[in-house]
Amino acid sequence: MLWVGAANRLDFAAGVVLDGGDDRVNGRNGAGACRLGRWVNAAALAALTLAGAQALAADIEWPPREGGAGAVVVPESMAQIQLSFSPLVELATPAVVNIYTSVRVGGAADGEPSTRLRDDPFFGGFFGSEDSEPAEEEPLSLGSGVIVSPDGIVVTNDHVVDGADTIVVALSDRREFVAELLGTDPSTDLAVLRIRVPGGPLTYLELGDSDRAKVGDIVLAIGNPFGVGQTVTSGIISALARTDIGISDYAFFIQTDASINPGNSGGALIAMDGRLIGINSEIITTSSGGSHGIGLAIPVNMVRSVVGALIAEGIVARPWLGVTTEDVTSAMASAVGLARPFGALVTGVAPDSPAALAGLQVGDVLMSIDGNELENGEALRFRIGTHKADDKVDLVAMRDGTVVQLSAVLALPPSVTEVAEGTPLDGQHPLAGAVVVTLTEALMNEYDLGHMRGGALVTGVQPGSPAARIGLHEGDVVVGINGREVQSVDILLRNVAEPQPEWQIAFVRDGKLLTVGIHG
């Protein structure tokens, strides 16, 4: 197994053979040597790459230029031996924080319900009197976060702070501060906090450009795995634009083999220039829950967009292009004149949408946006999501074997204006706490629902509400209640007007019809 990573110390008992015909390298074990123009041992490869990417504290030349083919080069100083990530780590780690969250529970006795359930008008009557013991704090989760501005703005994952009553941020010097939650964006699994720290500006990480990241780049992951404390691991970028995995709606992950474990969520993925290029978010693992070399990070270009929106507005109102798409298969690529399968095949264009005004047509294959190649429809969704309404985007498409270039001015999606007119549901029924609007053709297009007979689109769900507890999400479409078809909000309201001994709620999610049953 070839290990490529950081080496705190490189000990060469007999030196390293450079440009030699003999492939034997000191410390070589089976296939543990690789050839990149020269045979080097695996630990030296990472250190040499670091040396080329980052100026070292000592003024040294590494590797030395002396010697020809087959020459044995021996390090001549401790500076040449102790190639290390430590200068970069020392700069970056003060900007990475540990996050601890807790939830209030309604009494000292085990099993006592959350105060949020106790205070809920639907369930509150089931949980005893107001004379119960005072609420206590119970640990909920732990994770990591990144300080991205000197005034205490912290980015983390939404799933790290979801449901928390109290969020505590611990700095690298072990000082702890209660954080203010500025906003969350579950669609990208991001959340923004603020801490107020006396004594001047905080160390923070500058945001890099994730579009410049390349497969094979060395990266460091910094976080708080398993709650053991701040930990640094190294690896490479294993893949880019992973769109078919993950828990967020805007899946476009950077994949890395740097060790990431539970507790690393919300931590930093940094490049060799010390800039943040991603927020570590997920791992692919077996039932053991440990790291298996596949970690996923949210690209910093999406982070930048979300942080700006949450600080300015408290919400993220993403723009809308107005197309539905399918991924291009090999057969499609051949039919439309592409040399290989990539891009997003346009299967629908909403009337009066930015796409329609730009001249996009059904059957076009979108190949790039703003010069960024599109692997598939998810990549298009991600690229649009990093913009704001009224931004102009340049599109390149294949149409009938001819490349066409178009420009579109993005707009707010239909749901933004219709949510303002949406209907909040209340009362004694399982849908209480949801906000719904009647499904329209434009909304079908925005949420990529295809053609439906109608329904009540869920545009928001109040945390802790009955609708949230039955698992209803934004984007779900309620299509039936107790066997009766729901084609509009008016029909839905008539069907929940009277209490029922039992409820059967049917809704569509990701093209699948789901049913939830609950006693009344």
Structural contact between residues 488 and 494, judged by C-beta atoms closer than 8 angstroms: no
Strands (E), 359-399: 365-369, 372-373, 392-399
Q: Which of 159, 248, 249, 415 is catalytic?
A: 159
Q: Which amino acid is at 26?
A: N
Distance CA 27, CA 32 (A): 8
Distance separating the N- and C-terminal Cα atoms of the chain? 59
Task: Give the containing element (helix H, strand E) for 199.
Answer: none
Angstrom distances, CA of residue 272 to CA of 46, 156, 220: 12, 21, 8
The DSSP line for 403-455 is EEEEEEE-B--HHHHHHTT-EE--SSSTTTTEEEEE--HHHHHHTT--S-S--
Residue 187 annotated to the active site:
no
Three-class SS state of 66: coil
Nearest to 250 by CA among 312, 310, 318, 202: 318
Q: Buried b / exposed e across 286-299, counting CB within 10 Å, b at 16+?
A: eeeeebeebbbbbb
Distance CA 219, CA 500 (A): 57
Q: Which of 185, 189, 364, 476 is catalytic?
A: 189
Bridge partners of 407, per DSSP, are 394
> Furthest-apart CA pair in the chain: how many Å?
89
Backbone angles phi, psi at 52, to 5 degrees: -75, -25
Residue 159 annotated to the active site:
yes
Residue 151 annotated to the active site:
no
Nearest to 157 by CA among 240, 256, 267: 267
Structural contact between residues 221 and 276, judged by C-beta atoms closer than 8 angstroms: no
Distance CA 204, CA 154 (A): 9
Q: Which of 114, 265, 291, 353 is catalytic?
A: 265
Nearest to 381 by CA among 463, 445, 454: 445
Catalytic residue IDs? 159, 189, 265
